Amino acid sequence: MSGFRLPAGGAVDRGRPLAFTFDGKPYLGFRGDSIASALLANGVRVVGRSFKYHRPRGVWGAWTEEPNAIVDVTRRGRTTPNLRATVEALDNDLAVRSVNALPTAAADRVALLDRLSAFMPAGFYYKTFLWPRWETFELAIRAMAGLGRVDPDNQPHGDNPQFNARCDMLVVGGGPAGLAAANAAARSGRAVFLLDDRADIGGQLVHRGGSIEGGDWRDWAASVTAAVEANGGRVMTSTTAYGVYDHRLVSAWERSGTLPDALWRIRPKTIIVAAGAVERPLVVPDNDRPGVMSADAALVYLRRFAVLVGKRIAIATNNDSAYPVADALSEAGAEVELFDLRPDAPPTTLRVVRGAEIEGVAGASGVEGVRIGGQTRAVDTVLLSGGWTPTVHLYAQARGKLRYDEALAALVPNVEVEGVRVAGAANGAFNLDEALRQGHAAGGGQGAPPNAPSGQYRVTAAWPKPDAPGRRWIDFQNDVTLKDVALAAREGYVSVEHLKRYTTLGMATDQGKTSNINGLAAMAALTGRSIDETGTTTYRPPFVPVPMGVIAGRRRGALISPLKRLPLEAEHRADGAQMREYGGWLRPAWYGPDDPGRAIQREAARARDAVALFDGSSLGKIEIIGPDAATLADFSSYNRLSNLKPGKVRYGFLLQESGIVFDDGVTLRLAEDRFLVSCSSGHTDSVVTRLELWRQDRFDPRRVVIHDTTAQWATLTLTGPRARDLVAALDLGAALDDDSLPHMAFTPAAFDGAPLRITRVSFTGDRSYELSAPARRARALRARIVEKLPAFGGGLLGLEALMILRAEKGFIVVGKDTDGTTMPHDLGIAGPRDSRKDEYIGKRSLFTPAANDKGRKQFVGLTVAQGETALSTGAHVIEGAGRARRSMGYVTSSYVSPTLGAPVALGLVANGFARMGQTVGVYHLGAERRATIAPAVALDPEGKRLHA
């Protein structure tokens, strides 16, 4: 038993006790407690086990800097891992579990690891990777590594709101400097956002107290928040500004407690970083014992929570800030003795040993004494105050640079960053009056700053000495000792960035808030460099761990990348469509509840035998309009389009400037000055972009415009030998004989008084009619078609069956049957390259030596022996055997054709056109098969079905 609750004082509500458990044992705390303060009040000392050696650890700090008290918290059956006990508010029925401890923090079976510490030096993982065998140890190491346990049932709702805000000034930190800045800015009429990550305003004033403007600081602070709110600003507590990003965007995480946490994206004209400072430990031997704590934290526990952390307390320090702590603890009834490194320590009425360094901390599972002058003095608590480290994270994230200030023994801001100012303890102003002065100036205040008694802060640097004996912890969270830093230096990891990665110093949930400066100072001493020369690691967001759900907000699940929806989705679903994503569109994959394989085969067979309806509404419908439409169409396309007659349709490619096939599709010439580009469903946006870029770059934008009408039109396609009969039965008022409407032509028609276009193009190889109607008329058109289908033996056709039909005909899907090397002549279409004299996108690339290499992968079919199963898509086409075996390409598409009663496959194979009829190996997942290279067109090579 060490810490205990005082009968009075603190900001806890003694009338509202809260029951909780820690590692299974029941305890009581009060409303207003943090988990850490409640544990300390109950005399719990060991709150966790260290990451590497499983050493027992106690609470070090009182806020976000906490390296040791990391806990999993179960609330209403849901566990959240790796929370800091010092930050989390206590609540009723919390089950708190220590992390990295088997089974509990107090009795950890793996603690003997500590005795093996000589075998786990810095870079332990890296060394084990190399020798003797990582695999031998991997399972055991993985089982012991890591902190909390993830609860798979804890899946928060995607309801974290996200807000965007602008303001004149964002003040981060509600301590004296932040309040002074907000005061000055608000009173000159500026809109100020004042943020503090605690639930209250005041910062250090809350536990250290102070008099401002001649009265209690709380009265002055209340007048400041009133001024902020009266001038269009906002005071936000429990809100952590955790990152500064480009163009001065600040992200903040707001916790209201009752509502879901929120993300704020704030764009201030000016940022004031008044984030305070963090007390760091002295690097004395065994400074990681439970019961060793930050001196400032002990004062926080006393004043905020009325918890006295010990009865016999030794305070080791090198600076003046420990003295008010000593006075307060003594006043509260503790027996206090100070050990000040400085021979000229300030006067005090308490016992003090001047010019003294603690030589060790005794007590394996908790502090029992301190060694000084070769003797052990019995104490139950050791407070360390090694000076203050300014919280400069946001300034540094905004590209601020630091310098080492000898007098303050701290890294402080050194350069001006546009739009960012640092004030108060974050800027090395550790006295109240100086903090107020800096804040007032940073806020643009005129006249005298808020008045406070002048203070004094003196410190003598006490950086770790490289040759100091004993085990001295620098980073508690990652178990990095002074010797580890020395080893890293010997092994050449002298850059602080290397030091961090090699030893893990400054990593994990606390990001070295208490340890980084001691680590880099040790490295400086080890390498004979100054602290400035040694430098710091890069400061990156987030300042504290932020829940992923807050960052994601509502962009989760289906909303991460919203799908495009067909205007007829409801009708498809009503007919039993199984919807799947294709190129960003949600489209019917097949229909009915049947086994998908059977349903797909049935749909494909019916389309060949009779007629089938599929929804082609997602195909791009991009119009090129104007007197220069034909020249833009020509330049954009591999195939010439200017000689296409109005009313006709042409298939072709769009190339990239690199000559690679970018998209394929048909283009309709609607009129002399008007084309309609029907590109792939997934490429519409990029084709529009590409046409726009070239239009604006190369053409007179007044003479040609691009208009994307994809969303305005629905396209219903009928394909199969009875397609014409069915279209005729729809009464669309257009002549359908092959002279009036031949393949690759279109005709206007009408449906219930609305315009309709009938286009004869075919992605199946069968006679096909695309009926394009305004999207709002599509439902009625589809209903009439579906009503007529049974009379013609027809049915619905999903995308999967359509893929079989097009593969039987050797029709490509760009990006599936082509890759990042495929040029049009690799697909057997070399005509435009050989004949076109004018410029078009990608032209020059088709004439390079690489474009005409003999070994290019070319588009072919692949057949297998009768009775064999389909090849695997992605399987390698190979030649040679054993070690000489090499890939010549791969299978791009593979299906079973119900019409041919055999598998059909397409592939890209090196020099494939010249290998027609050759037998090759096909390798997939360890098995090798044989296949024969064949023409890509497996069904109806003469194309008779188009006109049947």
Partner 1 sequence: MQIFPCPFCGPRDETEFHYVGEPKARPEPAEAVSDAEWSAYLHLNANPKGASREVWLHMTCLESFLMTRDTATNAVLGSEPFTRAAS
**Residues in the site for partner 1, rule: CB under 8 A?**
245-247, 249, 265, 267, 399, 657-658, 688-689, 692-693, 696-698, 700, 706, 839, 843-845, 847-849
DSSP single-letter state for residue 113: G
Of the pair 820, 849, the CB lying nearest partner 1 is at: 849
Of the pair 246, 942, the CB lying nearest partner 1 is at: 246
Whether residue 646 contacts residue 670, with contact meaning beta carbons closer than 8 Å, is answered with yes
- 47, two tokens: 């709150």
CB of 635 to partner 1, least distance (A): 11
For helices 322-331 and 295-305, what crossing angle results, to 10°?
Answer: 40
Instruction: Round to whole Å and give the CA distance between 826 and 750.
Output: 41
CB of 555 to partner 1, least distance (A): 12
Backbone angles phi, psi at 849, to 5 degrees: -60, -40
CB of 250 to partner 1, least distance (A): 10
Of the pair 251, 509, the CB lying nearest partner 1 is at: 251
CB of 444 to partner 1, least distance (A): 23
Residue bearing tokens 């190491």: 141
Of the pair 231, 658, the CB lying nearest partner 1 is at: 658
CB of 268 to partner 1, least distance (A): 13
Instruction: Round to whole Å and give the CA distance between 619 and 421.
Output: 54
SS3 of residue 452 by DSSP: coil
Distance of CA 210 to the CA centre of its chain: 42
CB of 696 to partner 1, least distance (A): 5
CB of 774 to partner 1, least distance (A): 23
Of the pair 418, 942, the CB lying nearest partner 1 is at: 418
Of the pair 348, 658, the CB lying nearest partner 1 is at: 658
Amino acid occupying residue 414: N
Of the pair 740, 848, the CB lying nearest partner 1 is at: 848
Instruction: Round to whole Å and give the CA distance between 322 and 299.
Output: 9
- Spatial neighbors of 482 by CB under 8 A, at least 6 apart, are 283, 464, 466, 468, 472, 473, 474, 522
- 436, two tokens: 């107020």
Of the pair 247, 883, the CB lying nearest partner 1 is at: 247
CB of 848 to partner 1, least distance (A): 6
CB of 387 to partner 1, least distance (A): 33
- 61, two tokens: 């700090």
Quick one: which H or E segment has residue 754? strand 754-760
Instruction: Round to whole Å and give the CA distance between 873 and 881.
Output: 21
Dihedral angle of Cα 164, 165, 169, 170, to the nearest 10 degrees: -40
Of the pair 465, 843, the CB lying nearest partner 1 is at: 843
SS3 of residue 151 by DSSP: coil
Of the pair 244, 922, the CB lying nearest partner 1 is at: 244
CB of 418 to partner 1, least distance (A): 9
CB of 580 to partner 1, least distance (A): 27
Residues comprising the chain, all counted: 948
Instruction: Round to whole Å and give the CA distance between 18 and 29.
Output: 5
CB of 732 to partner 1, least distance (A): 35
Residue bearing tokens 């400074």: 287
CB of 588 to partner 1, least distance (A): 29
Count other Cβ atoms within 10 Å, centred on residue 595.
10
DSSP-assigned states of every residue in 866-933: TTPPPPPTTPEEEES-GGG-EEEEEEEEEEEETTTTEEEEEEEEETGGGGTT-EEEEEETTEEEEEEE
Burial letters 384-394, b for 16+ CB under 10 A, else e: bbbbbbbbbbb
DSSP-assigned states of every residue in 603-638: HHHHHHHS-EEEE-TTS--EEEESTTHHHHHHHH-S
CB of 685 to partner 1, least distance (A): 8
CB of 655 to partner 1, least distance (A): 12
Half-sphere exposure of 40 (CA within 13 A, CB side): 37
Instruction: Round to whole Å and give the CA distance between 392 and 423.
Output: 10
CB of 185 to partner 1, least distance (A): 22
Of the pair 646, 831, the CB lying nearest partner 1 is at: 831
- Spatial neighbors of 734 by CB under 8 A, at least 6 apart, are 740, 741, 747, 748, 749, 758
Greatest distance between any 2 Cα atoms in the chain? 113
- 559, two tokens: 């909303």
CB of 251 to partner 1, least distance (A): 9
Of the pair 784, 843, the CB lying nearest partner 1 is at: 843
Of 309, 352, 319, 288, the closest CA to residue 515 belongs to 288
Whether residue 693 contacts residue 644, with contact meaning beta carbons closer than 8 Å, is answered with no
Dihedral angle of Cα 256, 257, 259, 261, to the nearest 10 degrees: 60
CB of 844 to partner 1, least distance (A): 4
Backbone angles phi, psi at 548, to 5 degrees: -60, -35
- 182, two tokens: 């907000």
Of 464, 475, 519, the closest CA to residue 52 belongs to 475
DSSP single-letter state for residue 567: T
Burial letters 168-191, b for 16+ CB under 10 A, else e: bbbbbbbbbbbbbbbbbbbbeebb
Instruction: Round to whole Å and give the CA distance between 619 and 764.
Output: 15
